[in-house]
Structure 1
Amino acid sequence: MDKKQAQEKINELRKLLNQYGYEYHVLDQPSVPDAEYDEKLNELQKLEEQFPELITEDSPTQRVGGEPLEGFEKVQHRVPMLSLGNAFNEQDVRDFARRASQGVDGDISFVCELKIDGLAVSLTYENGKFVRGATRGDGTTGEDITSNLKTIRSIPLSLKEPETIEVRGEAFMPHKSFLKLNEERLANEEEPFANPRNVAAGSLRQLDPKIAAKRNLDIFLYAVGEWENSDVTTHSGRLERLKELGFKTNPEWRKCSTVEEVMEFVEYWTKERPNLNYEIDGIVIKVDSLNQQEELGFTAKSPRWAIAYKFPAEEAMTRLKEIELSVGRTGVVTPTAILDPVRIAGSTVQRATLHNEDLIREQDLRIGDTVVIKKAGDIIPKVVRVVEEKRTGEEKEFHMPDECPACGSELVRLEGEVALRCMNPSCPAQLMEGLIHFVSRNAMNIDGLGEKVIIQLFQEELIHTIADLYRLEREELLKLERMGEKSVDNLLKAIEASKENSLERLLFGLGIRFIGAKAAKTLAMEFETMEKLQNATYEEIIAIDEIGEKMADAIAQYFQEEKVKDLLEELAELGINMEYKGPKKAEAADEDHVFAGKTVVLTGKMESYTRSEAKELIEALGGSVTGSVSKKTDFLIAGEDAGSKYEKAQKLGVTIWDEQQLKEALGSVSP
């Protein structure tokens, strides 16, 4: 067989195998026996071995998992993957529907979908070919897990039409796959996994794709991030169109015209969820019209046009064995209930939060009590109440100590607070928790420095402060358990790379009281350098929008401490960046800029900016960038190949600018 004949045969086999795979994994309607599929796949593999130059990324043979990866690359989501607000009862749903109806013109309808309990992922296709898959991450930045996602056979490697599209969905492990996997682990005398969600998430974050390939994961696609040339106008229409393109969508969705219909759907699946072959933890309710979604817009964290109804938390009864104390990075001492193991909402629970001493007193909790626990939002276990009728008289009252369990310093309760706090800045527990926070994803984001590694380094006395992280040496790391040459080299590279982070990550990582990731970004954008922020007065800080009195006071006090000044000087000497690297704040006041308070839509390709760069710059100047054109749009910025958004903007009379006009408006502001 020559190369031309081989190519023809390979094309024929791929087309056939893709069709068989679609029928089996997406439609759940196999048309041929497994043996016939395997025979065709084997034939294709042999041809590709004979003609390796004919292997393509979308061949069915590429699903088995390639070589292990050294680490996951970061992926910037061009459209953020925001989380949803929650509803816990019928009134919450009615309030959501009322707000949505009041925020738009015309009648409103909703689409209800099952909320799959898995791992949210993004899939990108260019001209119909699967090119990249990523985790949700923090909603803005995820991890490239393309190799692992290719092992999920219900994900098409090529679409039925040459669409360029980014879709979102939930990867999960079916119950049958989960039970089979745990049977195998028990047979091998291994610990069984706690629940399907953890296995799905863990499988897709394995550096060896062959592990994911063995886990028999599945996926449902339910949303679109970007779809430049689509003329679909409703969410329900998108679900139908995704199905036509070859994506696996969940058939259990319903379009509803009233809240009563929505609640009927909710009540039905509250009862029927145990009969599904996968875990669900609620119902997602979305406004169907895409134009109405655009009108409703977003809050900082979630869309106003969608909400997640969470099923009532499952409860279970168990015994409170003891109460354990832990010290956080701010010195707060938190009690945790240690329980007899009990299975609840798909996993085994042995610990539950007790928050503080007042809660223990209110519930009259005693060591040895029989208690009822539930998972708040099906995630965090908490003690609901004591079963007093089961008391034997042998239960013991619990009293919070006067001294810190980690360092022995006196515990104090600050005015207006319920928590007991250790005020010793050298407390080892606080230092360790501070280090764990510093390397975390939203702070310095140092890959390979998880909680276990930090604890190990701290216990071996290799680190005491965050500055010590940047003095770690290869030879001393190689002496530690489970630290091979490759992992040590990768860790040191990640530590070195973190030196280049923008100022807001360092600010958040320092753990200044009341300063979260968003406030850190606001401060970094305002002052631009650590030196300017250090020298800022309380009045200058409190003048910033979004910075309140407590925050301003905490910042001012923090930078007055000599230890802090010494630490920052030390970090600067070690090469840690002390400047903001994001888009600069507009010089001449946001209020006067042409984009201030305006809604902008970007379309087409631009030469000078990526879509995300243009978005950041416009937002830095007080504008808001949205994904689709509506009557509320003020500007459409049109690059090459602008498509349907350009036509819609013309019809609505929206101001349309080209890239040159955008550059002139942005002026000296740079990415």
Structure 2
Amino acid sequence: MPKQPSVELTPARPSMAGRKLHNEQARYACCFALQADFYRDAILNILMDFKKNPDTDFKNIDDLNEDEAAGEAAALREGINYHDHLYYVKDAPRISDAKYDKLLKRLEDLEDAHPKLKTDDSPTQRVGAEPVSELEKVEHSAPLLSLQATLEADAVKRLLDRAREAADSRSTDLVLEPKFDGLSVEVIYREGKFERGATRGNGRVGEDISRNLKTVHTLPLSLQGDELPDRLAVRGEVYMPLDGFTRLNKQRVESGRNPFANPRNAAAGLMRQYESRNVAGKPLAIFFYEILAADGDLPDSHEKVLRQLRDWGLRVTPLNKTASSFKEIEKYHRKLVGRRDDLDYEIDGIVIKVDDRELRETLGTRDRNPRWALAWKFEPREESTLVEDIVVQVGRTGILTPVALLQPVDVGGVTVSRATLHNEREARRKDIRIGDRVKIIRAGDVIPEIAERIKRPGRKRGDRFEMPGQCPVCDAAITREGAYHIYSAGLACPAQLRGRIRHFASREAMDIDHLGEDAADQLVTRGLVENLADLYQLKKNDLESLEGYAEKSAGKLHDAIQDAKSARLDRFLYALGIAHVGHRVARQLAGEFGTLDRLMKADRERLQKIPDIGAEIAAATADFFADKDNRRILQRLHRAGLEIGEMPARDSQPLKGKTFVFSGALHDFTRSEAREQVEALGGRATSSISGETDYLVLGDSPGSKRDEAEEQGVDCIDEDAFKRLLER
């Protein structure tokens, strides 16, 4: 059910039912002030009627007096919270989305008209609050202990033996729960109202994430029931449902951003945002499983604790189960392993807890682990997983790449949640479809790829993958060049612009510190940057508005941008992100023409006369500089003070004809910077030793290339000798 209002209301003539409702609400507000006991039952009946079948034929807000507005706001809060509970916790909605949206919109309008009616537990507060400069540290009501984890059945048997030995005549019943792979949190309620939430942190002190937690719809802002403790601290797990994780990653990939590695990282990252508006509306949920502290007596068993949590309206997983023997525990473990792929959230094991709370006290705790509980983990998923979706990622040069979004899987100790399909031809060759089980490898031990589809006889497969006819972000038309699909919307596409900003700021290009993926994404999303020239118009206060940027960090980014106003021609050409123009081609073009003005005047025929510049590169370069929008942006960059240095004349390239290879780590250069120095002086830099190699430059831990060089008679020089050679 969407929780952002989508129905625009206009004042309506009150119906008889509506007038009766408002009269009763006004009486309700007054009688609460008078505390007239004989009205109480009638008021509760009115609220219950309003909960179950709310009338949305509202009276004009301007015609309400203060008592009527207060009564209606109270009824709306009660009703919306009631239907939130039905939808998110009970999974049994009773009213339509449209009616729900009308109720929420009416409450927002009432609170806008009467700000004193706005309460901290109002459903309108889930949309996010003003950003904070940092997350404050808070001390927990009770330690949030971590669980000892095992993969061995013998450790489970030892827990049972300890419990039976300590039990004397008490029960040794156990409660079994799924082990959620999410973010553990403490949530505190004061007089039944949400007061505060915090991350686990070190178990005793966590970070205050109250504003972000309030945006999670499965977390009730008000508890249910008549007998509520004055203060209640409970423990829960914030997680991201798998379908929501797939949707969120689809949006990120299609817009050119890196996806989250797994649902846990996504949930943890969102919960620690400084600006809760960035969290509102994200697919997050919470399960509760423990009472940490409460005023008054606590239930004497864990099973009763779970029942009490449900009675208060706190969401508890239906997968919990009681057991009294290892055989029952083993059966539950095996059952959840089988159900793991069918659940809409990640679990990585089961939790075994002693049920009797008095027996827990007897068993006690270790330093950080309770001796009355244990996590029996599943064997990690390895190599094979499910394809949740196939989306199209937009590159900075307009190339569209199909990407498979995967159920997160461990491959060689790394969690993999996506794999490239390269292009439509490759996707069709492997015939990968949504819902397939596939084998994952990490090509070169780095890039995850789908090696093959695992056949599952008898299972109906999804539709064949087809590349879209339009860009998934900006709807620009797509053309085909060989195996690749490309579109030419250029800087008009937000996804392409994000990539261009990151590329423009990279170390090998304009080298702008602090301008990474997150900053580029926010600059485009917030409309602060619509093309590269806008970067140089940003003010410090623009950057302070970004999530995660305070005055000091915004100042650093602003200074870094303003300091990046000069570059040699080849670096600037590379920074522009022209299709097919990498480092080598940029140096060739810069060396041939010397200045940007001369290059901009060259047509395709002139460009193709340059050695190693084929028709494809010539066309891409000529078309880029012929584009009116691109020329306008280049003029704006010039007016902003950007200075493009000329390339050295060809006759002043002393390393022309010399070939260098680098091996090992250099202290004063990155590998790309060293290659750039060589190529700027006319030399070549290659990656392997051959008969044409003149110098092998040795850094730390050079490896086998040194032996190859000595065998072939290649001169080996260290970094100091390399620097002296450059200086000469």
TM-score, structure 2 length as denominator? 0.46
Q: TM-score with structure 1 length normalisation?
A: 0.49
The structure that has the greater radius of gyration is 2
